[in-house]
Structure 1
Amino acid sequence: MGNLLSAGMYRLKYSKLFYILLGLLVVTLTLCYIQAIPQTVSLDVSPTEAVAHEEGYVTMEFEEPAPFYPLNSLFFQYVLLNLISCGVFCPLFLSHEYSDGVLRNKLIVGRNRTQIYLGNLTVNGLYGATATVLGILTGLCVGMPMLKGFGETEPSTLVIYGLFSLITTWACVSLFTMAAMIVANRAVAVALCIVLAFGLYFLGQFLTIGLSQPELLQGGLIWRPDGTFQMADPAPNPSYISGFKRQVYQFLYELTPGGQCFQIAEMGAETPWHLPVYAGLFTALTTGIGLAIFQRKDVK
């Protein structure tokens, strides 16, 4: 097992794909931070008292908006990029196992299939861990100076979500490793993993939008004949998901890597400690299924 890991890490060290994907991660995050700079303008304005403007018989008051720290909503976006990049890296990095006869040679020299599978999973996991650490460092070294910090967000919250992002990225890696190890055709494996990556991304986005719908819609303004106005009563939201359907949405939101990634990216998990539990469950499930199929696979 040690020799397998050493060989895998040696390949990882000299893999162009490894450095290209990490470079794209840094560039993409940096561009996101640059685009968010205009949103920090309110941080440079000193608070002022509310200003009253008379406009006919209506008095309107405008208050200075509260400071907005865009880094809070951008810092963990790297976990969404990890979902896509792992779907590209894992099948391409493991494609030589079948095409170059490496897998057959490993079996000939006495390595069992469990060792081979777990060794490849570990090496792919190292890519995911490196991408996660690099995403955090980019946020700290580039995002913080540009976007003026996290405001009142507790450091412990950042640490917790950082650890969760590492665990969730590993869950993504386990899925793509399973697909790459049980599909011998390189083109099919790459296509399958990319489809899975984007499928999980859009599933997570769909679940996020569905579960974020409010139960009641804010009522509008009702103008009275005397020139005054009042707020209308809130109305039921037809898009609100309730009952058993909401339970299914919530379960998929917490179990699937796509849903987990969106919760981490937005730091909006209702039950944060469910994330590592479900990510661990998903990793164990995909690894178990992958091993079971790989054990019976005919290696030519």
Structure 2
Amino acid sequence: MKKVRWGVLGTADIARGQTIPGMQLAEHCELYAIAGRKPEKAQSYKEQFGFRKAYGSYDELLADPEVEAVYIPLPNDLHCEWSIRALKAKKHVLCEKPLAVSETQVQEMFRAAEENGVMLMEAFAYLHSPFVKAVKAELDAGTIGEIRYLESAFITGRRPDTDIRLRKETYGGALYDLGCYAISMAMWMLGKEPDTVRAAAQFSEKQIDLFTSALLLYDNGAVANLDCGMLLPEGRLDRFRIHGTLGTIVSPVEFNQAGEIPYTVIRNGVKETKTVNAPNNYSLESEQLSRCILTGEKPHVTKEFSLLVARVTDRILKEIGY
């Protein structure tokens, strides 16, 4: 099977620190082209990671007929625009989470993908982890019965005021940047939209949510408690646990974690700890979409799932007045 020639639009930190190194490990990914608004920075990425070409503009990369797929790690407000431009240029797209800033934009993006016969996938790298697959398999097998309470949180330290993730014009804030992890985890495990959404947030002076807490309530009695924030003095806090009618699953896992990941199943007071070996999540993600491009298989993170996450996010945003 041949390799997919990838282009990267932008020189964001997540591209340099996570996704590009992950792509280097993927069997069917070729780092073909990098584009940045500062040509010298794009050139430095080319030299560091072994791209064949470096461009000083995104349009130049999209005009390159050799590029088959693009990864988009741009600020949130640019996801929709540049994804659609890439899709119209007949490039497959892996776009960073959140895929867009509203469900309406997500619909527009997938419409562009369908009209141009190419694939679009939201970059939730952690969803490709064997850990997530193992926990979902436990739920599907009825190990802990029906879900009654799910808790997911992603809280980090306070970022500098100059950080792009603290700018309202780029749709920054805790919910967009970190809440999408907790929301997507809940939707992946519960599998459907909540009947009722309640949420509250703490805002900065610039009206950016520094902390958001949401309750997703289901008519069948299930509850999801989701927290996200960027206000800790230091470090980060990840929480993950699921309580069912027959037991509990709990893990100290961090989002996008690789290596040996333990999780504990508790039933009738008896604890059983299992361990999953998770490779680089970013490598799994780019490899999975590359294989889909080559074989025509459906992406792991589907259109329907991204629309569900966007719809729930919209409801939380409305609740907190953002």
TM range (shorter): under 0.3
Q: TM-score, length-normalised on structure 2?
A: 0.26
Q: Which has the higher contact order (CA 8 A, sep 6+)?
A: 1
Q: Which has the higher strand share?
A: 2
Query: Which structure has the greater CA radius of gyration?
Result: 1
